[in-house]
């Protein structure tokens, strides 16, 4: 039997012009939509790789021929890419068939306040793409062979400074979005950010809490970039950056931050990191866990896509609230049940080493 064609429906008796049209989607259309999503993502990569967003921003409305000349491409082939990006307003087409950068496309500029350029560029990077190409293998073997061949993603980044700079930019672009909400919370005297990247979250916390000091622990190369960033943040000398391994270098503090770190680790490694942090914590200190929570139901959530990326790069995954609760309690930590949703699909869970007092 052939698939039913999508058709427009309206309630009987309703005047057509008052009823929003509903398009029925068949199961085959749904599969087609999923396949198309992957193809459109490639169109986005090409648009960015060719430098189209900048050329459209600099020179404004232009024909496919003019843009093709500027980005050294073929006009008809480029027009196919541009047309694929029309419906999401990445580009818009004028009445005379010229192209302009659309509202969504503006976020592909490096200086946009919510730039998505590093997200697109990291997604298009050959290692990220290779990891996704080998996903079936990862699901079969439980290993991320593409990154394992380099000693893991972070060893690859050590050996490839340009990619490391892109990765740090990508993490910063995410962290900048969540930092204000996290910084508004109450913090104690010493904030320890383990695997704190280039320091954007720590800087935001220290700017908001003038009495607090901060310690960031990172791999040597990232630690160097974090020092350079923190020096420019108008937070005086209230910070220190330690180059080291977060499994072994956990300085004393009142607040410990683990942001987008645990999702890179399998349960055994995540459990031992949490246990090591717990051993350093005192009755008054808190752990701030920031990661995505996979919903228990079937609703769409960004965590599912990022879980696929974790699978490809680390053979790990995002976790549900219950999985985090099990990990945390297994390491002797008490998660506060009031979790905070943050931008970018992230969530914040705070934990203590003793149960919170009743009624708090
Ligand atoms: C996904 S990034 C998150 C960065 C930062 N917390 C943020 O949210 O923007 C994970 C960070 O953990 C660091 N990292 C991973 N394993 C580490 C280890 N064993 N010792 C020190 N840093 C580590 C990486 O260098 C990387 O910067």
- Alpha carbon 69 to its chain centroid, in Å, reads 34
- How many angstroms does the Cα of residue 168 sit away from the middle of ligand 1? 10
pLDDT for res 1: 38
- How many angstroms does the Cα of residue 195 sit away from the middle of ligand 1? 3
Backbone dihedral angles phi then psi of residue 192, each to the nearest 5 degrees: -110, 115
Instruction: Give ∠ CA 230-163-88 in degrees, rounded to 5.
Output: 95
- How many angstroms does the Cα of residue 197 sit away from the middle of ligand 1? 6
324-347 residue pLDDT tens: 999 999 999 999 988 999 998 999
Q: Which domains does the chain have, with CATH numbers?
A: 22-108 (1.10.10.10), 173-352 (3.40.50.150)
Residue 23 has, within 13 A of its CA and on its CB side, a CA count of: 7
Instruction: State how far the Cα of 141 lies from the Cα of 144, in Å rounded to an integer.
Output: 8
Helix (H, G, I), strand (E, B) or coil at 145: helix
Q: Which residue carries 């916390």 as its tokens?
A: 205
Is residue 252 within 8 A of residue 280, CB to CB? The reply is: yes
User: Any residues with CB less than 8 A from the CB of 36 and at least 6 apart, and which?
Assistant: none
Could you say which DSSP state residue 133 is in?
H
Q: Which atom of ligand 1 is nearest to the CA of 246?
A: 20
Instruction: State how far the Cα of 43 lies from the Cα of 85, in Å rounded to an integer.
Output: 7
- How many angstroms does the Cα of residue 295 sit away from the middle of ligand 1? 24
Is residue 207 within 8 A of residue 182, CB to CB? The reply is: no
Q: Which atom of ligand 1 is nearest to the CA of 157?
A: 25
pLDDT for res 162: 97
- How many angstroms does the Cα of residue 282 sit away from the middle of ligand 1? 24
Residue 227 has, within 13 A of its CA and on its CB side, a CA count of: 10
Site to substitute for ligand 1 among 194, 261, 292, 309, most atoms within 8 A of C-beta: 261
What pTM, to 2 d.p., does this model score? 0.90
Closest CA to ligand 1's atom 3:
260
Closest CA to ligand 1's atom 20:
245
- How many angstroms does the Cα of residue 171 sit away from the middle of ligand 1? 10
Closest CA to ligand 1's atom 27:
197
- How many angstroms does the Cα of residue 60 sit away from the middle of ligand 1? 39
Q: Which atom of ligand 1 is nearest to the CA of 263?
A: 1
- Which residues have any ligand 1 atom within 6 Å of their CB? 154, 171, 175, 195-197, 217-219, 222, 245-247, 259-261
User: Any residues with CB less than 8 A from the CB of 277 and at least 6 apart, and which?
Assistant: 194, 250, 256, 258, 287, 331
Consecutive 10-residue averages of pLDDT for the chain (360 residues): 43 55 85 96 98 98 98 98 98 98 98 96 98 98 98 98 97 95 97 98 98 98 97 95 98 98 98 98 97 93 96 98 97 94 95 78
Instruction: State how far the Cα of 294 lies from the Cα of 291, in Å rounded to an integer.
Output: 10
Site to substitute for ligand 1 among 154, 165, 291, most atoms within 8 A of C-beta: 154
Render 21-60 in DSSP notation, one character per residue. Answer: -EE---HHHHHHHHHHHHHHHHHHHHHHHTTHHHHHHHH-
- How many angstroms does the Cα of residue 116 sit away from the middle of ligand 1? 20
CA distances from 246 to 81, 107, 108, 193, 256 (A): 44, 34, 34, 10, 11
Q: Which residue carries 């024909």 as its tokens?
A: 63
pLDDT for res 235: 95
pLDDT for res 355: 82
Helix (H, G, I), strand (E, B) or coil at 62: strand
pLDDT for res 231: 97
């Amino acid at each position: 039997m052939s698939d039913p064609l999508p058709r427009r429906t309206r309630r009987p008796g309703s005047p057509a012009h008052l009823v929003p049209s509903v398009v029925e989607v068949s199961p085959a259309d749904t599969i087609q939509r999923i396949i198309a999503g992957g193809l459109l993502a490639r169109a986005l990569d090409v648009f960015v790789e060719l430098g189209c967003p900048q050329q459209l921003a600099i020179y404004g409305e232009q024909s496919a021929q003019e843009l093709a000349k500027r980005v050294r491409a073929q006009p008809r082939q480029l027009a196919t890419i541009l047309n694929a990006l029309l419906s999401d307003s990445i580009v818009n087409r004028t009445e005379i068939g010229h192209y302009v950068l659309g509202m969504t496309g503006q976020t592909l500029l490096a200086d946009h306040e919510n730039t998505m350029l590093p997200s697109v560029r990291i997604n298009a990077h050959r290692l990220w793409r290779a990891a996704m190409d080998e996903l079936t293998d990862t699901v079969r073997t439980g290993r991320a062979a593409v990154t394992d061949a380099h000693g893991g993603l972070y060893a690859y980044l050590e050996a490839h400074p340009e990619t490391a700079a892109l990765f740090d930019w990508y993490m910063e672009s995410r962290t900048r979005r969540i930092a204000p909400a996290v910084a508004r919370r109450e913090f104690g005297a010493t904030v320890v950010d383990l695997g704190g990247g280039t320091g954007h979250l720590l800087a935001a916390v220290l700017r908001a809490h003038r009495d607090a000091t901060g310690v960031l622990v990172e791999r040597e190369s990232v630690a160097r970039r974090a020092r350079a960033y923190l020096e420019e943040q108008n937070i005086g000398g209230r910070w220190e950056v330690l180059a080291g391994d977060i499994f072994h270098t956990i300085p004393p503090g009142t607040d410990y931050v683990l942001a987008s770190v645990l999702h890179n680790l399998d349960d055994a490694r995540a459990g031992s990191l949490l246990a090591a942090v717990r051993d350093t914590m005192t009755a008054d200190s808190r752990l701030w866990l920031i990661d995505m929570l996979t919903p228990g139901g079937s609703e769409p959530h960004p965590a599912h896509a990022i879980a696929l990326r974790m699978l490809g790069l680390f053979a790990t995954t995002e976790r549900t609230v219950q999985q985090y609760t099990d990990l945390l309690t297994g390491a002797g930590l008490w998660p506060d049940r009031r979790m905070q949703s943050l931008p970018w699909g992230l969530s914040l869970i705070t934990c203590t080493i003793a149960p919170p007092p009743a009624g708090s």
